[in-house]
């Protein structure tokens, strides 16, 4: 899908319209969301000015940006703490999710027996479990990790299990015919086949592990000692320091977006040669 030079190639009106349409769409994909975003920020600023809203209720966007710059030391060190929990829990979610999925894939009986436990863990709100974790676990980092892990591991487990079980039947027969061992079948057939599913789960889990980390900090922050972004937000809330609250919020969303983009890129790079989802639309 390279740009078509209309000067060289004579296009009929229909094709020319299609080329124009495609070009417009390409530009619009970036320009439109950006324009709406800028408009929304401008409107936010105007609403503050028009209604003379005090800064401790709703700060103007410029003030938020200024605070982000001014409090950078404080906010970014807090972000680092949150990021550490996020990535550690994501890593553990990958290990736990894939590990359990591989275990489930060994036998339908294992899967049938243990999958309900995973679902119970998943559907119980983490905020409700946290007081228990607080009683049983002493170490602060472990508490937060456990929390974020419980939130993040399920999509990986569920997706990878689905992937491991959706191998083409003929391919399975082919492996059997060639005398493949269980391990060979897992390594050369089922794991690669599950890759797109796993990566889909990873994209969801990336965002969830951040949410898990922040929520865990919130709950833990209420009981005292935590230094992540969430505790900065709580602190700022107590002090009616709305600009800092907004700045911290902005950092969290930005982090979430970055995590999603990075994971999408990884997924694209791994799948681009063979999986339908990563292929360009061909007509």
Partner 1 sequence: MMQENVAQAPASASDVAPTLLALRGVGKVFSNGVTALSDVDLTIREGDFLSLLGPSGCGKSTALRLIAGLSTPTSGVLDWRGGGSLDRSNIGFVFQEPTLLPWASVFDNVWLPLRLKGVSRAKAAPAVTQMLARVHLTGFEDAVPRELSGGMKMRVSIARAMVTKPRVLLMDEPFAALDEITRFKLNNDLLELWQDERFTVVFVTHSVFESVFLSNRVVVMAARPGRVFDELAIEAAYPRDEAFRTSPDYAALCRQASDVLVKAINSTAGAHHDGH
Closer to partner 1 by Cβ: residue 56 or 188 = 188
Closer to partner 1 by Cβ: residue 10 or 273 = 273
Alpha helices in 51-190 (DSSP H): 61-70, 72-106, 108-123, 126-136, 140-165, 169-177, 182-185
CB of 89 to partner 1, least distance (A): 29
Closer to partner 1 by Cβ: residue 103 or 180 = 180
Q: Which of 216, 250, 218 is nearest to 72 (CA)?
A: 250
Distance CA 116, CA 114 (A): 6
CB of 173 to partner 1, least distance (A): 6
CB of 261 to partner 1, least distance (A): 24
CB of 170 to partner 1, least distance (A): 4
Residues that bind partner 1 (CB under 8 A): 168, 170-171, 173-180, 184, 188-189, 192, 195, 273-275, 279
CB of 7 to partner 1, least distance (A): 31
CB of 15 to partner 1, least distance (A): 26
Closer to partner 1 by Cβ: residue 42 or 188 = 188
Q: Which of 96, 56, 76, 84 is nearest to 214 (CA)?
A: 84
Closer to partner 1 by Cβ: residue 18 or 275 = 275
Distance CA 211, CA 127 (A): 12
Distance CA 186, CA 201 (A): 19
Q: Which residue has the tokens 């980092």?
A: 141
Closer to partner 1 by Cβ: residue 178 or 281 = 178
Q: What is the DSSP string of 42-81?
A: HHHHHHHHHTT--TTTS--HHHHHHHHHHTHHHHHHHHHH
């Amino acid at each position: 899908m390279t740009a078509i030079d209309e000067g060289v190639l004579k296009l009929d009106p229909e094709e020319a319209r299609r080329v124009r349409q495609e070009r417009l769409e390409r530009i619009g994909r970036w320009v439109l969301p950006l324009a709406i975003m800028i408009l929304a920020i401008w409107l936010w600023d105007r609403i503050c000015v028009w209604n003379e809203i005090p800064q401790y209720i709703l700060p103007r966007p410029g003030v938020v940006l200024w605070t982000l710059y001014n409090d950078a030391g404080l906010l970014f060190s807090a972000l680092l703490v949150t990021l550490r929990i996020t990535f550690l829990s994501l890593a553990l979610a990958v290990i736990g999710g894939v590990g359990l999925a591989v275990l489930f894939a060994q036998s339908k009986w294992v899967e049938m027996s243990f999958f309900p436990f995973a679902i119970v863990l998943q559907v119980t709100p983490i905020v409700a479990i946290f007081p228990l974790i607080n009683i049983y676990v002493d170490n602060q980092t472990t508490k937060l990790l456990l929390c974020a892990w419980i939130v993040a591991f399920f999509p990986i487990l569920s997706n990878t299990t689905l992937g491991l079980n959706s191998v083409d039947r003929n391919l399975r027969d082919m492996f059997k015919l060639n005398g493949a061992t269980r391990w060979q079948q897992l390594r050369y057939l089922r794991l690669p086949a599950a890759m797109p599913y796993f990566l889909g789960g990873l994209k969801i889990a990336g965002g969830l592990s951040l949410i898990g980390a922040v929520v865990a900090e919130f709950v833990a922050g209420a009981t005292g000692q935590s230094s992540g972004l969430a505790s900065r937000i709580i602190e700022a809330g107590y002090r009616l320091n709305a600009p800092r609250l907004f700045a911290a919020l902005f950092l969290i969303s930005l982090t979430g977006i970055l995590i999603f983009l990075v994971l999408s890129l990884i997924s694209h790079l791994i799948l681009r040669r063979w999986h339908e989802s990563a292929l360009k639309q061909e007509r």
